[in-house]
């Protein structure tokens, strides 16, 4: 197919992203998603598959790299559906059943009152594929409990954000920092990589997780500053950019809930307040600290992992408004 003028005008990194081809074996899952909901388009899935290698742990064995990537993809689709049920649609009933799927100690009830059976079926399929790929990981058993622990943190984040959207008076910058950061799923992506890392030494685990805290914060900042306008249009007020705008009086809670107040007007005031710039400064300070630190680890390259956050920010900034 010939390249269109629009495509040629896109930044190179975005052109690369839009040319990303997902494995054919994932087509049935993506088709199932499209049949159930139009919440997200194909570009999100291309973006995900494109960025994963950029922050893959160096400890992942080469022969397992692609399986780890597909595991992360199926897991991400599962979490995206859950997140949209909770935050976009305020569908607490389906969310509460769907969040039970990954755990053997809980069983979801498709017949519970108010449950969207189609969405629940999509969640079950995406989780089954996640499990199937994860079962191929040589060290899955070693990191299973850690994976489930980190997963619970991200599920609680979705619940918190639903509460914020139901009542923005609950929102605070500290709440966004403590809870919303887990929505980036970076700890879980690291857990998946560890399951595919036969040579990783658990003695390096504490240091890796300390770095992951800050790396996940970098990912969160990049997402906050590049998606808050779209989320404002979706009546999603969980971005720290919007939360701080409300706290500082740049906009009011009443205004953002008033359908007669154009979001473009609110967005213009938020941009003029310089909140995005402040977060980018925080990003740079955190990144500089991470890259200048010498880490006493032997089985994973933490500087390469951190550098993946720089690449992720570049992709987020240049793909702003597209995903």
DSSP letters, 39-97, are SS-HHHHHHHHHHGGGG--TTS-GGGHHHHHHHHHHHHHHHHHHHIIIIIS--HHHHHH
Domains observed in the chain: 24-318 (1.10.600.10)
Describe the crossing of helices 27-36 and 65-83 by its angle, rounded to 10 degrees.
10
Question: Would you give the distance in Å from CA 196 to the centre of its chain?
Answer: 20
The residues, any chain, with a CB within 8 Å of residue 214's CB and separated by 6 or more, are 286, 289, 290
pLDDT at 322: 73
Radius of gyration, alpha carbons of the chain: 20
Compute the distance between CA of residue 241 and CA of residue 226 in angstroms, rounded to an integer.
Answer: 10
Compute the distance between CA of residue 248 and CA of residue 238 in angstroms, rounded to an integer.
Answer: 15
Residues of the chain with pLDDT under 50: 1-7
| 90-146 tens-digit pLDDT | 999 999 999 999 999 899 999 999 999 999 999 999 999 999 999 999 999 999 999
Q: Are 219 and 184 in contact (CB under 8 A)?
A: yes
> Residue 294 carries which DSSP code?
P
Instruction: Characterize 59-93 residue by residue with b for buried, 16 or more Cβ atoms within 10 angstroms of its Cβ, and e for exposed.
Output: bbeeebeebbbbbbbbbbbbbbbbbbbbbbeebeb
| Cα-Cα-Cα-Cα dihedral sign, residues 276, 281, 287, 289 | negative
The residues, any chain, with a CB within 8 Å of residue 263's CB and separated by 6 or more, are 229, 232, 233
pLDDT at 31: 97
Compute the distance between CA of residue 235 and CA of residue 257 in angstroms, rounded to an integer.
Answer: 8
Compute the distance between CA of residue 302 and CA of residue 209 in angstroms, rounded to an integer.
Answer: 10
Compute the distance between CA of residue 285 and CA of residue 57 in angstroms, rounded to an integer.
Answer: 23
Q: What are phi and psi of 240, to 5 degrees?
A: -65, -25
pLDDT at 323: 67
> Residue 20 carries which DSSP code?
-
Quote the longest CA-to-CA distance of the chain: 58
């Amino acid at each position: 197919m010939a390249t269109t003028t629009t495509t040629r005008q896109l930044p190179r990194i975005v052109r690369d992203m839009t040319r990303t081809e997902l494995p054919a074996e994932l087509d049935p899952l993506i088709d199932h998603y499209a049949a159930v909901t139009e919440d997200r388009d194909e570009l999100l899935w291309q973006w995900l598959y494109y960025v994963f290698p950029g922050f893959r742990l160096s400890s992942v064995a080469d022969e397992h790299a692609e399986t780890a990537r597909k595991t992360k993809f199926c897991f991400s689709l599962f979490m995206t559906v859950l997140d949209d049920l909770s935050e976009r649609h305020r569908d607490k009933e389906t969310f509460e059943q769907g969040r039970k799927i990954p755990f053997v100690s809980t069983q979801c009830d498709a017949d519970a009152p108010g449950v969207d059976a189609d969405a629940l079926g999509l969640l079950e399929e995406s989780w089954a594929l996640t499990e199937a790929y994860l079962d191929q990981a040589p060290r899955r058993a070693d990191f299973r409990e850690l994976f489930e622990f980190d997963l619970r943190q991200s599920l609680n984040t979705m619940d918190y954000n639903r509460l914020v959207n139901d009542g923005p008076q609950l929102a605070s910058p500290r709440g966004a920092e403590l809870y919303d950061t887990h929505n980036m799923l970076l700890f879980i992506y690291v857990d998946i990589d560890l399951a595919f890392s036969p040579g990783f030494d658990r003695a390096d685990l504490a240091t890796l997780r300390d770095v992951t805290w800050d790396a996940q914060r970098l990912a969160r900042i990049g997402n906050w500053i590049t998606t808050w306008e779209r989320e404002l249009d979706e009546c999603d007020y969980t971005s720290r950019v919007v939360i701080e705008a409300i706290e500082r009086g740049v906009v009011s809670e009443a205004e953002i809930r008033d359908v007669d107040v154009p979001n473009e007007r609110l967005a213009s005031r938020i941009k003029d307040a310089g909140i995005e710039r402040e977060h980018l400064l925080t990003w740079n300070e955190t990144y500089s600290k991470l890259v200048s630190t010498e880490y006493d680890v032997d089985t994973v390259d933490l500087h390469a992992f951190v550098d993946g956050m720089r690449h992720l920010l570049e992709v987020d900034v240049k793909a702003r408004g597209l995903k």
